[in-house]
Structure 1
Amino acid sequence: MNDPKPMGSVAELLLNYVSTTHEHDVNFSIAVTMLNHYRELGSMSAAEIAELCHVSNASISRFCRHLGFDHFKEFHHYLGDSINMSTDYSRSFFDMLCADRWAAMDRYQQQLSENIQSTFARENLDKLPEMARILHDSRRVAFFSHHFLWDIGRHMQNKFLVMGRCIEQYFDYSFQLECARSLGPEDTALVCTVGGSYPTRYGNIWSALQNNGSRLLIITQNRSSAYWNNASYVLNCGSTNQNDVGKYSALLAADLLVMHYLRQYGRDFF
């Protein structure tokens, strides 16, 4: 089983690299140049990109390996699968946005409201105290996600750390796989996947989570998936991800979990 190495798009890999690296060396310069010419990269050869970046072909190959790809060809392959705006917004919504922006905003608001109401359902809220207890009692907690949900993981890391609970999160595919393989029965994996596609996209990581004996807590809209059969709890984060509204209810679900952890264990940190 070969999982996609970029857990999102190549653009996100480059942006994350530029935003987090402390060394403004030749690799940093290559990444910045690639971002400034990102839409052109898919039609360019390694030699053309090297000329654009004012480096050698070997430097481009080394940079691709530095990002986690085996070689330039693999990097170039994933450029073709890059996420574009049609991934997030439907054509009908775009047409409505151009023709009548107020109608488009009304539809968007309605979708947001439906997700918020679904996330606040009593049967959903009733799961939170026990989920908070599991997070508190675990030896290790690791957050698994991809694409925009990384930001939700980082938000949870910050909030929980203030309350003395360290949550691990890794942006790189190889580190997520290594983390999944290292967890055990005393640990918890918190998987955030709005549409429920994480297990199918990253089968090697999911298999490791299934085999390591750790507890599974899931945040998703796809509550009926057979992948969650062994999960301790599945927390709903709404009912629709049309026009990319699912990320807001996923953040809401994460915040509700933070609030209940605060209620049960955060008195000394308030």
Structure 2
Amino acid sequence: MQAFQKRLLQYREKLSPLEVQVLDYILRHPEEVIRLSVEEMAKKIFVSTATISRTCRRIGFRGFQDFKYELSKNIAQAAQPPASPPSYLLSQHMERVKREMEKTLQSIDEEKIKRAAEYIEQSTHIELFGVGNSLPICVDAARKLMFSGKICHAREDWDELRSAANSLTEKDLAILVSYSGETLYMLEYAQILKSRKVKTVAITGTPHNRLQQEADLALHAHIVHCYFDDLDMCSRFPLSIILDFIIITYLNLKNNAGKERDR
């Protein structure tokens, strides 16, 4: 629950005063909020139902009902007994990883994978954007693309990433990798890239996020929330799988193009 609340707090400075009022009430009274209708909550905090719905969208949800569903899940998880035998705990996480792999593979959109590969083939320069735990995935993908002969970078410094976003052109490609799709820095980079008409591909681990809405092409991996207290233990390998599929498809396109030229 603490991790979910921290995720909500990162939006606070981006909200209007009325939206902050809504968010603060949610953070102070989460158990009450899940029992209220949007009309009841509006009367309690003296705002319009439209303000509540808009706040929920601004913090990454489709609306109030979607937010309440996620809030109730987090409250239920927080109420579960904390201790489990080690062998049972391990089997739980083995099942979680298996489920992530299966659902990610089931939801793969091959047409989108092919389009992303075509973007790579058509681009002069490729920049991979990832912060925190998503950065190693970007570094690995950049290395593979560089060895394939494509000019590619994955930068660690956040200010350097901003500078890179401001230097890319319409001939380039940006691949943005984010578990939540709601990280403020990533959204900032996406907006810069959009203003510069840079082609963008977003790969995220949650559905219906703002980063997807900013990108030209969005792909979604299946990732299950997993926190130990405040420690983020969510897998990132489903994101890596999608990147690998894109790169493999690009290499195949490149080889086929080479064969056509040799004929």
Show the 5 A alignment for 1:86-235: 95-96=82-83, 99-121=84-106, 123-198=108-183, 200-235=184-219
Q: Which moved more, 1:132-141 or 1:244-253?
A: 244-253
Contact 1:217-1:233 within 8 A present in 2 as well: yes
Matched, 1:265 2:257: no
2:139 aligned counterpart, secondary structure: helix
Contact 1:112-1:245 within 8 A present in 2 as well: no
1:250-269 CA-partner distances (Å, limit 9, x unpaired): 1212222222122222477x
1:105-126 CA-partner distances (Å, limit 9, x unpaired): 1211122122112221255233
RMSD: 2.5
Identity among equivalent pairs (%): 13
* Whole-angstrom CA distance in 2 between matches of 1:127 and 1:216: 13
Amino acid at match of 1:144: F
TM-score (norm 1): 0.58
Higher RCO, 1 or 2 (CA under 8 Å, sep at least 6)? 1
* Whole-angstrom CA distance in 1 between matches of 2:130 and 2:242: 14
1:5-56 CA-partner distances (Å, limit 9, x unpaired): xxxxxxxxxxxxxxxxxxxxxxxxxxxxxxxxxxxxxxxxxxxxxxxxxxxx
2:132 aligned counterpart, secondary structure: coil
TM-score (norm 2): 0.60
Unaligned runs of 5+ in 2: 1-76, 228-232, 259-263
Show the 5 A alignment for 1:37-76: none
* Whole-angstrom CA distance in 2 between matches of 1:159 and 1:196: 24
When residues 114 and 93 of structure 1 are mapped into structure 2, their CA distance, relative to the original with a 3 A threshold, is: farther
Unaligned runs of 5+ in 1: 1-89
Cα drift, residue 103 of structure 1: 1.3
* Whole-angstrom CA distance in 1 between matches of 2:81 and 2:94: 15
Q: Which moved more, 1:237-246 or 1:137-146?
A: 237-246
2:203 aligned counterpart, secondary structure: strand
When residues 109 and 125 of structure 1 are mapped into structure 2, their CA distance, relative to the original with a 3 A threshold, is: farther
Which runs of 4 or more aligned residues in structure 1 lie more than 3 Å from their structure 2 counterparts after TM superposition?
A: 90-96, 201-204
Contact 1:124-1:236 within 8 A present in 2 as well: no
Cα drift, residue 145 of structure 1: 0.7
What is the count of residue pairs matched by the alignment?
176
Cα drift, residue 249 of structure 1: 1.0
Cα drift, residue 182 of structure 1: 1.0
1:71-115 CA-partner distances (Å, limit 9, x unpaired): xxxxxxxxxxxxxxxxxxx9889944xx41121112111221221
